């Protein structure tokens, strides 16, 4: 299949899915609620606890691309609709201000086929760490937790398709979602209705030493599961969500080691059972161990999300 045809089919399928989901949620009649009010109403219908919906979800109704990039994408789509699909080369749209994406889901869990770009991250200090590091007073390096956008439109589409179509790992449930409501549905289908949404507050502290302040382990000492949602770059909202079994989730205040002032509030996840992970996983290379011998922790990226039990 040519790159152009591949691109067109993926865009068409995701667009149809997105529109169908919107119609299903709103029905044939016009939705009388504002988007914010509709989402709040949907949250209250689906979530059984009294925790308020995250304001971050409201911002996820838009694309992570900038307006100019969305315009370029729309022009490309229009050109595709008016052209012979197999006769044109795929245009190369550059996003020069963004770096190449280095995401945990490219080389996570027991997956063997890790991209070479993922391995570029293996020497970045703080990318992976041990659970014992998550205690008050620890000074440790923070990796770059800013979500990265791939350089070309072709890579954007290929990355989205690869993650959305790959088979789940052992014990994993996965889904690509195109709306905040669909994300809520998936999270509650895995965890039940008593859930909470957590995220790292911002990207401050990236690529520098940080001081760990107050630390809280969610759900105490229980080994639990979570749903992690990774933002995919697309003109519409698109998140790759998957269940993560046998984990511990932490929230921690992140301080400037010199001033001791709080600069961020981070969420970290520790994978407690790594026995099925690929022996060549970059985490084992970084931490000097192997599958099943240690737990592996990492920070949740700035615009990624993690769903956990309500932790009342």
The string of DSSP letters for the chain reads: --HHHHHHHHHHHHHHHHHHHHHHHH-SSPP-S-HHHHHHHHHHHH--S-PPPPHHHHHTTS-SS-HHHHHHHHHHHHHHHTS-TTTSPPP--B-TTSPPP--GGGG-TT-----HHHHTTTTSTTSSB-GGG-STT-EEEE---SPP--SBHHHHHHHHHHHHHSPPPTT--EEEESSHHHHHHHHHHHH-SSEEEE----STTTTEEEEEEEEEETTTT--EEEEEEEE---SS--EEEEEEEEEEEEEEEEE-TTT--EEEEEEEEEE---TTS-TT-HHHHHHT--TTTS-EEEEPPTT-EEEEE---
Instruction: Give the pLDDT score at 237.
Output: 76
What is the mean pLDDT for each group of 10 consecutive residues in the chain (312 residues)? 47 45 46 69 78 63 52 54 40 31 42 41 78 95 77 71 83 88 93 93 93 95 91 78 93 96 96 92 93 96 90 63
Instruction: Give the pLDDT score at 249.
Output: 96
Instruction: Give the pLDDT score at 147.
Output: 66
Instruction: Give the pLDDT score at 203.
Output: 92
Instruction: Give the pLDDT score at 15.
Output: 46
- Per the document, the length of the chain is 312
Q: Which residue has the tokens 């995701």?
A: 14
Instruction: Give the pLDDT score at 252.
Output: 97
> Does pTM top 0.75 for this prediction?
no
Instruction: Give the pLDDT score at 135.
Output: 94
Instruction: Give the pLDDT score at 148.
Output: 65
């Amino acid at each position: 299949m040519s790159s152009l045809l591949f691109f067109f089919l993926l865009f068409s399928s995701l667009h149809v899915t997105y529109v169908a989901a919107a119609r299903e949620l709103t029905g044939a009649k016009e939705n009388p609620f504002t988007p914010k009010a509709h989402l709040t109403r949907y949250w209250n219908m689906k979530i059984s606890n009294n925790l308020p919906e995250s304001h971050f979800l409201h911002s996820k109704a838009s694309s992570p691309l900038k307006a100019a990039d969305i315009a370029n994408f729309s022009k490309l789509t229009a050109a595709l609709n008016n052209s012979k699909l197999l006769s044109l080369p795929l245009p190369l749209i550059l996003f020069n201000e963004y770096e190449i994406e280095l995401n945990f889901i490219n080389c996570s869990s027991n997956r063997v086929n890790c991209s070479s770009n993922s391995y570029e991250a293996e020497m970045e200090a703080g990318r992976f760490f041990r659970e014992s590091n998550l205690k008050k007073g620890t000074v440790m390096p923070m990796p770059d937790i800013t979500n990265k956008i791939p350089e070309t439109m072709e890579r954007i589409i290929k990355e989205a398709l690869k993650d959305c179509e790959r088979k789940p790992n052992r014990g994993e449930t996965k889904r690509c979602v195109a709306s905040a409501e669909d994300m809520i549905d998936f999270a509650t289908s895995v965890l039940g209705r008593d859930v909470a949404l957590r995220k790292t507050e911002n990207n401050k502290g990236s690529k520098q030493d940080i001081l760990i302040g107050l630390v809280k382990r969610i759900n105490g000492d229980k080994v639990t599961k979570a749903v992690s949602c990774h933002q995919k770059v697309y003109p519409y909202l698109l998140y790759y969500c998957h269940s993560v079994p046998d984990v511990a989730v932490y929230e921690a205040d992140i301080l400037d080691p010199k001033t001791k002032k709080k600069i961020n509030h981070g969420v970290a996840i520790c994978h407690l059972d790594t026995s099925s992970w690929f022996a060549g996983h970059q985490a084992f290379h970084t931490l000097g161990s192997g599958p099943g011998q240690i737990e592996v922790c990492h920070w949740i990226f700035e615009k990624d999300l993690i769903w956990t039990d309500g932790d009342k």
